Amino acid sequence: MKRYFLAFIIIIYMALPVIGNVKHRIRVPLSFDYYYSYDMVVEALKKLHKVYPKLTKLEVIGKSDEGRKIYGMTINNPNTGNALSKPAIYVSGNIHGNELQATEVNLYLINYLLVNYNLNKEIKKLVDKKCFYSIPIVNVDGRYHFFKDGNTPSTNRGLRIPKDDDGDGLIDEDFPDDLDGDGNICMMRKKDSDGQWKTNPDDPRLMIRVKPGEKGEWILLGMEGIDNDGDGRVNEDSEGYVDPNRNWGFDWAPNYVQAGAGDYPFEGVGLKAISEWIMKKPNICMSWHFHNSGGMILRGPSTKTQGEYLYEDVKVYDFLGHNSERIIPGYKYMVSWKDLYTTYGDAGEWMAMTMGTYTFIGELFMVQNETFKSIKESKKARKFGDEADGMKRFMGNKKRDIERLKFNDNLAQNSLFKPWKPFKHPTYGNIEIGGWVKMSSRLPAPFMLKELVHRNASAVIFTAKHTPEISLKITEIKKIGSNLYRIRTKLENSKAIPTMTAEAKKNKIYPKDMLTLSGNNIKVVSGGLLLDKYRDKVAYKEYRPELQFFTIGSFGKIKHQFLVSGSGRVTIKYSSRHAGLIKKTITLK
């Protein structure tokens, strides 16, 4: 009987979908009610590739500073064309080690496109026309250690490049310490009448600052840890701080300008491998880089010194950004340096300025969604804008902290906050350890995850639908003389994203679109932009009229006129880095 009971308990235990050390069974379609560890993400990508081998290509892009594999997935239908011949969207996540849900957005997008390919006509049409590239985990070492080691919600962001952060000649010698072995780095406090904190009378788990002249109760000792190197400081030299979003090769600045820059651009070996992989995909015209929290859709410039983007590009960003706001209610479309802060060596700006893409940074979770309000309270909050100003408005807000605890108690079932417990510290003596755990604060509770990933993946899909789609029409073939013909063409872009960004055109990052006329028995006498078809006004090109260079704007069209002598077959070919290739053949008789 005991054996049967034990077997029953084991089966139930294995079936429970919980966060922690229990390994979930990865199945396709993927589930999005928990967070995937690094190994689970790799397993999920391999299973998706196995189930959908014709639509996917799974590659090891390179290895990290600790030697872990970085995976990239391509989604493309080869029956409708080579991947490089189609407009492409690049999506990445988890560039900072603690920003877990950014990976989940990537996984959800991949899973959604593949699972729905034969179920949803819109998705099938999209996947047949476009190409998707995804790197779900940029900082693979960071994700691995966030799950494996003790962390706060905000630690373990950087690359695992050994650095002497505290200037004592030693490297990475004083990490935070998980003193009670629960997998979290929480806060330490100690009873002290001279302390600056006292117990919050509204909830004893929280503390509030004492007023001048008021007796204290607690002193805060910082994050959980000990003085590992005996220098009188605690937790001052963890993983070397090289920020993977400050180490890219455009507008990079050294550490004295911005902390985390590293010693030189692409010091992170994984970042260098990723950049080389991206540069082999010139068809990328839209990119999304997902981060952690704040509820923002950010565009560049990332620094004020760059100056505002050109007007033509801003119009495109505004169209895509404002529609993305509608897809993800509560998020704000913003300019990075102006509305948030300046970043040098930023991955998104590298994409925009070296690859010539349109680029958004998605900041995901909004802590203000952790609500425990009545309908009346919710209406009042909306009236006074209490929910409007993002995460920074609520950090350290007494009422907000109490509401989050009620959310923790009643919706997350006390999984986000660790009650204070006594601990014997080797230096401080009798202390207490407690506070918000690592899977809180910057991460949505698992039951909130699916809507977050679906809405953000839908914003990606919306922008993917607006990558350039070009039609080529032969509007006129007219004989106007002995053996001389007038040919008119019209190229039209039915989508919001142009075939080339204005910045790329200004800085000559890559060639413009080309329209060519060729044939064995013909000669293009003249050709150029058709300015007025009624008055036959044309801006003729002086040299090599059979080859025309141009770009097609947002929802734009462009017309050409050619005078051609000869007879027989004429091939008219349009080619574009971001819009692909179109060929048409006509016969002059």
Tell me if residue 439 falls in helix, strand or coil: coil
pLDDT at residue number 368: 87
- The answer on pLDDT for 11 being more than 70 is no
Q: List the single range of 112-116, 291-295, 397-401, 577-581 with lowest mean pLDDT.
A: 397-401
Going from the N-terminus, what domains does the chain have, and what CATH number goes with each? Answer: 59-146+242-365+452-463 (3.40.630.10), 165-238+392-436 (no CATH), 470-588 (2.60.40.10)
Mean pLDDT across 102-108: 98
Per-residue pLDDT band at 157 (split at 50, 70, 90): very high
Mean pLDDT across 415-420: 96
Helix (H) or strand (E) holding 160: none
d(CA 382, CA 257): 39
- The answer on pLDDT for 237 being more than 90 is no
pLDDT at residue number 22: 56
d(CA 189, CA 203): 16
| Relative orientation angle of helices 100-115 and 38-51, to the nearest 10 degrees | 10
pLDDT at residue number 451: 96
Which residues sit opposite 58 in a β-bridge? Answer: 73
pLDDT at residue number 393: 36
- Sequence-ordered strand ranges (E) for 52-163: 56-63, 69-75, 88-93, 131-135
Mean pLDDT across 310-325: 98
Per-residue pLDDT band at 381 (split at 50, 70, 90): low
- The answer on pLDDT for 220 being more than 50 is yes
Per-residue pLDDT band at 25 (split at 50, 70, 90): confident
Asked if 105 and 93 touch (Cβ cutoff 8 Å), the reply is yes
3-state helix, strand, coil in the chain (%, to 5): 30, 30, 45
- The answer on pLDDT for 255 being more than 50 is yes
pLDDT at residue number 359: 98
Q: Is 493 exposed, middle or buried (0-12, 13-18, 19+ CB in 10 A)?
A: buried
d(CA 494, CA 278): 26
CA 59-65-66 angle, to 5 degrees, is 90
At 457-476, the pLDDT tens digits run 999 999 999 999 999 999 99
- Tokens 């979908």 belong to 17
Backbone conformation region of residue 499, classed left if phi is above 0, alpha if psi is from -120 to 50, else beta: alpha
Mean pLDDT across 150-160: 95
pLDDT at residue number 396: 53
Which residues does 48 contact at the CB level (< 8 Å), separation at least 6?
28, 30, 56, 73, 110, 111, 114
Tell me if residue 350 falls in helix, strand or coil: helix
- The answer on pLDDT for 221 being more than 80 is yes
Per-residue pLDDT band at 90 (split at 50, 70, 90): very high
pLDDT at residue number 389: 39
- The answer on pLDDT for 374 being more than 90 is no
- The answer on pLDDT for 398 being more than 80 is no
pLDDT above 70 coverage of the chain, percent: 92
Per-residue pLDDT band at 376 (split at 50, 70, 90): low
At 112-137, the pLDDT tens digits run 999 999 999 999 999 999 999 999 99
Mean pLDDT across 542-566: 97
d(CA 241, CA 408): 32
Tokens representing residue 301 in the block: 């410039």
Q: Average pLDDT of the chain?
A: 92
- The answer on pLDDT for 439 being more than 60 is yes
